[in-house]
Every structure is written in structure tokens, then in C-alpha cells.
Amino acid sequence: MDPFIVKAIQLILSLSLLIILHELGHFIPAKLFKTRVEKFFLFFDVKFALFKKKIGETVYGIGWLPLGGYVKISGMIDESMDKEQMAQEPKEWEFRSKPAWQRLIIMLGGVTVNLVLGFLIYMMIIFVWGTAFVGPEQMPEGFAVNDSFKEYGFQDGDRILKLNGEEFQNSLDINKYLFMRDVNSITVLHQDGEEQTIDIPEDIGTQMWDAGIMQPFVPIQHPVLDTVVADMAAGKAGLQKGDSIISLNNEEIGYWHDVAPIATNNKEKEIEVVFKRDGKILSKKLTPDDDGKLGIAPLSDIKIERKKYGFSGSISEGFKYGYWTLRDYVAQFQYVFTKKGATQLGGFGAIGGLFPDTWNWYGFWNTTALISIILAFMNILPIPALDGGHVMFLIYEMVTGRKPNDKFMEVAQMVGFFILIALVLYANGNDIYRAIRDSGIFN
């Protein structure tokens, strides 16, 4: 099946699950507090619905516009902007008639469900599949180090032993830790056998972002091809899995990390690749695309180990993994507000790209847990029209004893709604731009 279709199916299934459970997080406490819920919809039913059925006092349905979902709670100023209902005298079953603490619980329900769900999925993943790690013993060739990091004392071939004085279990996480966590020192084992502890600048994450160096440590691998994308440069030139690259553009290729800089420096220029196949030396002409990509991936020399956990161990490890996933996302959120960060925003295309190309339950659940935690964080932001906006006004009411008037809430809701629509259009516009750019239509 086409990878695009596989990703689309996973995206729809994942979002449907997360939206329904998020809305249940509002629905259940509303019902517990005897608040009337008029509608419960997966996706938006603008003008019409694909399916709807009334059960009791609630209409359940599926809309045609897959931008989320909603529950319509009586007596609440929300995206429905039901001014007629709000103009009438409050009824005892309406949201506005309930104590502030009950309304706060109802509004926090969706975010709470998404957060708890993300943690539970990580616990399940770790219980079923365990965790993968690559220690210094599993990558004897070590890392190729970006030149800017060699100034600190790192060398090609270094293996990571410790971070901040503590043993570092998964060497492949080093770039993530440098960018998003507090790393003060790294202890490495050089290829000559010398062990050295290197101090790291406090603002290393910002330096990496500004310089565009997000992968300062790249595992050293031999230039033997494992994957060749048929409709990209290497595939069109006739390269095959198992080919070993000898030189590119007349420059010798010793290791895999030598390939990318040459290809990047020769975007959209024809260059020669010399390679070995079945003992024979062959050469082909190829042209890297406008991103300097050739469409190849190496046969990995890295040995990935897995650690299994029992039931109780998977709970604690899953909680820890969920906590750091949330913390890392919050830490990198600051970069969204930079000029460069704004261009990196993505919509449904970017989210769909997180899923694997082929159906893979591990990949599906791992991505679903990540999206669930992201949705929890994004929804609690204090933006009117989001749960966080309602929570912000409720906290104001509980602290001051004064409820914002309905007119103010209506205006705030409309402003928040337009902000969200603008962000959705902008993010998905970025996806479309990147898709057109990568397609080569305007080359």
C-alpha cells in the first residue's frame, strides 16, 4: 500500500481516538454534575453531519470537517456562539448555573484525559516492547562530530560515557539532550583510549538552533546502502541496496557522514558517484535535489539492544518517559516564537509524517502517545476558544469573585477562534508549501 495512504489511515485513526476521549473528558464530569450536554461530535458538522442520532438529551454524531470535535454544553459560551440560549434566564442544568469549581473540573477534563492517556500508552509500549538503547559498546566506531563542537574538545570517533557525571544509557539521545535538557558536561572515550570530561556552555541549545546544527553528533557508519528511494536521485541513477560508495564528486568517502556535505554543496548539480557492487567498481551520474538529498540510507553498523520490564517496572518507566516527553516539548516550544521557528510550524501533513510508512503498531502507538501529550499542552494554553482560555477566565472568577460578563466572553471567544483558524491555515499552508517545494514543480 502507498505510504501516503498508510500514514493517512494512521493519522485519522489516531486523531479520532484522541478526539473522542478528549471530549469524553468534558462529557463525563458534565453529566456527573447534572449539566446538560446537547451535542457530542467527532469532527465538525458545519451545515450538515455524516451521521447523527439523539439518545436521551444528547445528539451524538460525526461531522464532515476533520478539524477536531466538540461537546456542546448547555449554558456555555463556546464556538457555537448560541446567543439565543444565553439571553434566557439560567436553568439549573446549565453550565453557567454550576459552581465555579465544578465548571473548572469540566473544562480541565479533556486535557486531563489526553495527558493521562499519553502516559498510559507509554506504559503499555514499555510493557509490551521494552525500551531500545545503544550504549558505547554497541557503537564501536563512535560519533562523527560537527566541526563547531570539535572546538570544545570532541573528536571524531568519540563514544559517550557520561552526562553530568552520570552513566548515559542511550548514546543516540545525545543531540536531544543537548538541545532540550540541562547538560553541563559530557564524558567521552576518544578512539586513542583517553577518557575526557568536556564542559558544555549553558546556552548550547540556543546555539544549536541559531546555527542550524541540530545533529552535532552523527553515528559513524560505513557507506553501504540499505535503502534506495526509487524516484529520487540515487534510484534514478540505478544504485541498489548493498552498493558501497567509494567517492562522490571525486571526493573519497570513508564513512557515511562524508556523503551529506558533498551532496548538500552540490544541490541540483550533476555529480559522479563511484561505488562497488559484487566486487566490481562502477560509476554513475546523479543530481542531488534542491535540499541536497540523494534518496539513500545506510546499512546500520549499530547494534540496538532492548531492555524488558515487568508490569510495575513498565509503570514507573512509562511515567518517567511521559514526563520527559512533555518536558521536552515544553522546552522546545520557546523556539516557535522565533522567525525561524514560525517557518517550521506544520499542520496535518506534518503530524501525518510522524507515523511510519508501513503499518507498525509500535510506531502507531508511540506517535499517538506523543500527539496526545502535545494536544494536552496545546489545549491548556490560555487562548480563548481553547480549554485553557476557559480555565483562565474561571480562575479569574474564583480569585476575584467576579464573573466576566457574557459580552466580553463572546468577544474573547470570537478573537480566540479567529486566532486558531489563522494558525491552522498558516500551519497547513506551510505543509502545502513544503510539499510543492519538494515535488520540484517550480524547479
pLDDT value, residue 404: 83
Judged against a pLDDT cut of 70, whether residue 443 lies above it is answered with no
pLDDT band at 163; cut points 50, 70, 90 = very high
Average pLDDT on 84-90 reads 69
pLDDT digit string (tens) for 392-427? 989 998 999 888 887 788 788 778 777 777 776 666
- The three cell numbers of residue 390 are 476557559
pLDDT value, residue 439: 41
CA pair distance 196, 199, nearest whole angstrom: 10
pLDDT value, residue 160: 95
Q: Are 320 and 126 in contact (CB under 8 A)?
A: no
Length of the chain: 443
pLDDT digit string (tens) for 136-159? 988 888 999 999 999 999 999 999
pLDDT value, residue 427: 64
Average pLDDT on 203-229 reads 90
Beta bridge partners of 245: 275
What's the maximum distance between 2 C-alpha atoms anywhere in the chain? Answer: 87
pLDDT digit string (tens) for 40-54? 999 888 888 999 999
CA pair distance 312, 226, nearest whole angstrom: 38
Quote the Cα angle for 11-17-23, to 5°: 125
CA pair distance 96, 431, nearest whole angstrom: 40
Using the structure block, give the residue that is written with the C-alpha cell 461531522. 63
Beta bridge partners of 131: 307
CA pair distance 39, 76, nearest whole angstrom: 12
Strand-strand pairing, 159-163 and 166-167: antiparallel
Average pLDDT on 343-355 reads 71
pTM of this structure: 0.83
Crossing angle of helices 3-32 and 361-379, in 10° steps, is 50
The distance from CA 379 to its chain's CA centroid, rounded to whole angstroms, is 15
* DSSP letter assigned to residue 299: P
- The three cell numbers of residue 31 are 453529566
DSSP string, 349-384: HHHHTTS-SS--HHHHHHHHHHHHHHHHHHHTSS-T
pLDDT band at 432; cut points 50, 70, 90 = low
Low-confidence winner among 67-76, 83-92, 306-315, 338-347 (lowest mean pLDDT): 338-347
CA pair distance 193, 125, nearest whole angstrom: 37
* Percentage of residues of the chain with pLDDT beyond 70: 91
